Amino acid sequence: MGQAGFQDYDHHGFTGEVRRDLAQFFDGVRMEGLREEIFSATDGVLAKGRHRVVVLNFEHDGRKLEVAVKAFGKQGGWKDRYDRERGSKAARSFAAACFLQEHGVGTPSPFAYFDRWEGGRLVESYYLSEYLKGLKSLRDELKGVYQDRGPADHLVGLLEKVAATMRKMHDAGFCHRDLGNQNMELTPRIGDEWGEVNVIDLNRGRIRKKLEMRERALDFGRLLMPSAFLEVLVRIYWGVKVPLEFRKEFKKARRRFEWWTRSRKWRHPIKTWRRGRKSKGLKMKDVWVWDRKSAQAAITLERRERKKCQSMWNHIRIAGATARALPGVWREYRRQMAGAFQRKVDLRGRIGMSVEMADLEIEPQLKFLEELGRVPVLMRFGHHEGREQWEKGLEVLDRLHGEGVEIMVALLQDREAVLSPESWREFLEFVLSRMAGKVAMVEICHVVNRVKWGVHSLKEHSDLVAPFKALREKFPKIRFSGPACIDFEYHYLMGALATTPKGFHYDALSHHLYVDRRGAPENKQGAFGTVEKAGLLKAIARWSGRCEERVVVSEVNWPLEWTGEWSPVSATYQPKHARGSRVHVTEEYYGFYMLRYLVLTLCSGFVDQVYWWRLVAHGFGLVDERSPEGWRERPAFAMLRTFLKELGEATFVERLELGREVYALRFKKDGGQVTLMWCNRRTYAGPWPVDFDHALDVFGKRIELNEVGESPVYLYH
């Protein structure tokens, strides 16, 4: 029985179904020569191989019809017997397309299918559908995103389109069973908006009243993309918490697909050899995508795949370097801790601020920067950005230098920098030649202990650093810092220092010392709070021999709650209205923690400079550029402005001992003395450590002091 709007077809030995309003286009002798026409075509060939897809023009009474015709190749006798009972591939494709169209799922409109049988054998079989011009497969669209290196939110937009189509298809009751990247095609984009997704190659599909979790998971099993992006697709698809049953079936489906992929070289050795000779393509571990919302490289691989990127030999080298360093570093650490807060520290020029040049307007940033006074500025230049953006950044650098601002520069690598060393060297030559004589410090590479930043081993990091030996000789006035690791992973830091190319020496040890996952900066990770971590960092710098003992924290912040994927710990995808990770803090506590972090690291004597990341950022900055009322300074901005006004040119003198988790640090400045006080996870109501004349709150307003809590207060005496 024919589909609604279609009629049975039985002409010239062919049987099948055809759309009623188009029947006249196919009721002719042309059907007898269709196979020869298809396989002799040179134009309009969409797919070659055993199953060939060609675009043909059919005419009737002056009307033309552009049709995509899929000719299915001949098959074995047992498959013919199966198709005699269940329907040919063409018939199944036709029925599936009709079903999907009926349920509003994107697929080219079905026109007809035709089969020709001889003696129980299927000798010809065709599926005819609407030809949609300009379609690009998901595979090709993803390749385009990878080649452009993002941005990540653009990729998420694509995954949202795909997830919506898959969910509608599955809810309707259709399981594709062969849903690879090549079997989803998108209509052309309109501006930045992705086109609509069309599902093709439907002959293996099954129509059910309701799909089981196993069948839903099956259609995710063959999709090829970096595992972290596949996880984003799954989360978008479900919209809420992913069911555990789906997780279980999804893992099974992925394992089967991985086995099938690995076994291809044994199943089809000649095809694999030929494919390998032509092109190996981009490996998923080499995909690198920029996340402009959170201003970092996107996580592309799940934990299991990330571990595979780092060889056992790399872990052995890290362990060996750590074992050799540990006795000497530990002795130095104990000496350092004995001297914590024992030396006077002049705070002038020690607190710096980072600005963003690629994804934000620079003029509003500079206006906010002026309000903080003349603080040092950190600027980032990324290999992935390209020459046009480098030029814009260098113009800003020249401007700041002309105004007498101290400038530090961070140079960011991507995966392409590792894979194409010549491109990396050209980038370095270009930017450094324009910076010479204008910058105080240049940080080499970026977060080299994170796979997402493109560095998979100590060897790759060493290769990235190697060109700087010659560049130091070419630009002798530039000072270099590194190795720019992140978090409390000092084993990798010691490994990176140990494998520094011979003949190269860092002028400072720079590190991204985040402590946000512990909440308050005083909270401990084992036996180490921020002060202890900074002390150990100083000990490593003094012990190493590969760097000067100067320590620079070149990046630190806390992620802000309710900022979605703009938060560095919620990127690259976060469901709407989600609060996010437990490490997120309120805008108020962000400011409290910032001031406490600055005082603890600098006044302990362990860190020479701290650059806050960053001035403007919706998810983690002192200014919110996405506020409905325009760029809005957050409480932390006012807190830092007050701190710099009150203590920015002061000298730390001593730490006063009070109760547990009560902090009081005395500073000397022109016109008197100031003691900064706060508590961690408690309050304190006296006795006060000094006889003070008046007190200011964190915003510089006079207060009547009754007790001290998480918010720092200034006691003037």
User: What confidence tier does 34 reach under pLDDT thresholds 50, 70, 90?
Assistant: confident
Confidence of residue 144 (pLDDT cuts 50, 70, 90): very high
Question: Quick one: DSSP state of residue 346?
Answer: E
Q: Same domain, yes or no, for 177 and 317? A: no
Residue 125 CA: distances (Å) to CA of 3, 70, 136, 329, 383:
18, 8, 25, 75, 52
Whether residues 641 and 662 fall in one domain: no
Paired tokens of 555? 């990046």
Say whether pLDDT at 163 is over 90.
Answer: yes
Residue type, 602: L
Q: Do 660 and 591 share a structural domain?
A: no
CA pair distance 179, 165, nearest whole angstrom: 12
Does the pLDDT of residue 301 top 70, yes or no?
A: yes
| φ/ψ of residue 354, rounded to 5 | -100, 140
CATH of the domain at 162: 1.10.510
Percent of the chain having pLDDT more than 90?
A: 87
Mean pLDDT of the chain: 94
Quick check: is 298 in a domain? no
Rg of the chain, C-alpha, whole Å: 32
Structure tokens at 628: 């409905």
CATH number where 321 lies: 3.20.20.80
On whether residue 305 sits in a domain, the answer given is no
Instruction: Give residue 29's pLDDT band: very low, low, confident or very high (50, 70, 90).
Output: low
Q: Alpha-carbon distance 382 to 200, whole Å?
A: 39
- The model's confidence at residue 33, banded by pLDDT at 50, 70 and 90, is confident
pLDDT score of 133 more than 60: yes
| Residue 618, domain member (yes or no) | yes
From CA 67, how far away is CA 38, in angstroms rounded? 12
Distances from the Cα of 517 to the Cαs of 350, 558, 582, 583, 671, in angstroms? 25, 9, 8, 5, 39
In-domain check, residue 87: yes
Q: What type of residue is 434?
A: R
> What's the per-residue H, E or C state across 540-608?
HHHHHCCECCCEEECCCCCCECCCHHHCCCCCCCCCCCCCCCCCCECHHHHHHHHHHHHHHHHHCCCCC
Do residues 644 and 483 touch, judged by C-beta distance below 8 A?
A: no
**Residue 295 within any structural domain of the chain:** no
15's tokens: 């049987």
Indicate whether 541 belongs to any domain.
Answer: yes
Pairing status of strand 672-679 against strand 632-633: unpaired
What pLDDT was estimated at residue 4?
74
What is the per-residue DSSP string for 374-393?
S--EEEEEEGGG-HHHHHHH
Q: Which DSSP state fits 253?
A: H
Per residue in 515-530, pLDDT (tens digit) is 999 999 999 999 999 9
d(CA 342, CA 64): 89
What average pLDDT does the segment 459-485 reach? 97
Provide the CA 458 distance to its chain's centre, in angstroms. Answer: 22
Number of residues that make up the chain:
717
| Crossing angle (nearest 10°) for helices 312-338 and 458-465 | 70
**Same-domain check for residues 606 and 696:** no
Q: Are 186 and 138 in contact (CB under 8 A)?
A: yes
Helices then strands, each counted (H, E), the chain? 23, 31
Per-residue pLDDT, 260: 84
Span 403-446, pLDDT tens digits: 999 999 999 999 999 999 999 999 999 999 999 999 999 999 99
Is residue 335 domain-shared with residue 415, that is, in the same domain?
Answer: yes
Structure tokens at 697: 């709150």
User: Of the residues 649, 675, 707, which one is the last residue of a structural domain?
Assistant: 649
Helix 152-172 and helix 227-238, axial crossing angle in degrees, nearest 10? 50
Cis preceding linkage at 572, omega within 30: yes
Q: 513 and 370, same structural domain? A: yes
> Nearest-5° angle of CA 457, CA 461, CA 465?
165
Does residue 264 sit in the same domain as residue 370?
no
Of 282, 301, 333, which residue is a domain's last? 282
Share of residues in the chain with pLDDT > 70 (%): 98
Instruction: Summarize pLDDT for 495-552 with one digit per residue, the tens.
Output: 999 999 999 999 999 999 999 999 999 999 999 999 999 999 999 999 999 999 999 9
Same domain membership, residue 217 and residue 153:
yes
CA distance 174 to 104: 12
Q: How far apart are CA 131 and CA 200, in angstroms?
A: 12
404 and 317 part of one domain? yes
- How, if at all, do strands 45-47 and 508-512 pair? unpaired
Annotate 432-444 with b (16+ C-beta within 10 A) or e (fewer): bebbeebbbbbbb
* 652 token code pair: 């730390």
- The pLDDT of residue 191 is 87
Residues 215 and 174: their CA atoms lie apart, in Å, by 9
Domain count, the chain: 4
Continuous segment of H or E residues that includes residue 440:
none
Average confidence (pLDDT) over 45-51: 89
Is the pLDDT reported for residue 1 higher than 60?
no
Give tens-digit pLDDT for 55-111.
999 988 888 999 999 999 999 999 999 999 999 999 999 999 999 999 999 999 999
Bridge partner residues of 6 (DSSP): 19
The whole-angstrom separation of Cα 348 and Cα 286 is: 43
Domain span at residue 251? Answer: 136-282
Domain end call among 101, 130, 159: 130
DSSP letters, 487-517, are SS-HHHHHHHHHTSPTT--BSEEEEE---GG
Distances (CA, A) of 377 to 111, 354, 554, 698: 64, 6, 10, 23
169 and 316 inside one domain = no
Q: Give the number of other CB atoms < 10 A from CB of residue 473.
A: 9
3-state secondary structure of 705: coil
Task: Return the pLDDT at 162.
Answer: 98
User: Is residue 83 domain-shared with residue 189, that is, in the same domain?
Assistant: no
Looking at the domain assignment, is residue 302 inside a domain? no
CA distance 412 to 149: 14
CA 503 vs. chain centroid, Å, equals 34
Asked if residue 693 and residue 611 are part of one domain, the reply reads no
Averaged pLDDT, 128-132: 96
Assigned domain for 287 exists: no
Phi, psi of 45 (to 5 degrees): -85, 115
